[in-house]
Amino acid sequence: MSDPSGGPGGDSICSKYADDPDMIEIVELFVRELPSRVDALREAFTRDNQDALRTLSHQLKGAAPGYGFPSIGEFAGRLEATLRSNGASGEAVRGQLEDLIALCERARAA
């Protein structure tokens, strides 16, 4: 069962296209690719590469809603906005990144 709030903690979240036979195949592909996106986000953070982290979060912000995961897009957008702001603390970035990763790890196609 999915968390209706789409927040970072809790059970799996399913794509809003889970019951759409025309979308399920590409949604499954998106979900299979999420671990590599998460790895790239972690690596960018570990290397303190804010440009890469901003680009990756921007891409996820744009892609996730199209696959039926608006909450992932929303959390990625928050991270991107934090990274774009001057004076973003490492702790603020870390917290938002951890929330985004937790949400990505809960994503399921159906």
Residues 59-108 have pLDDT tens digits of 999 999 999 999 999 999 999 999 998 666 788 899 999 999 999 999 99
What does each C-alpha distance from 107 to 46, 57, 83, 92, 97 come to in angstroms? 23, 16, 24, 23, 16
**Is the model's pLDDT at 31 over the cut of 50?**
yes
- Counting beta carbons within 10 angstroms of the beta carbon of residue 69, is it exposed (0 to 12), middle (13 to 18) or buried (19 or more)? buried
Q: Which residue has the tokens 């959390």?
A: 75
pTM attached to this predicted model? 0.88
Instruction: Please write down the HEC assignment for all residues of 35-68.
Output: HHHHHHHHHHHHCCCHHHHHHHHHHHHHHHHHHC
Any idea where the domains of the chain sit in the sequence? Answer: 13-108
- Of all residues in the chain, the percent with pLDDT exceeding 90 is 81
- Which of the listed CATH numbers 1.20.58, 3.40.140, 1.20.120, 3.30.70 matches domain 13-108? 1.20.120
pLDDT for 8:
63
pLDDT for 1:
33
User: Contact 104/37 with Cβ under 8 angstroms?
Assistant: yes
7-19: average pLDDT: 85
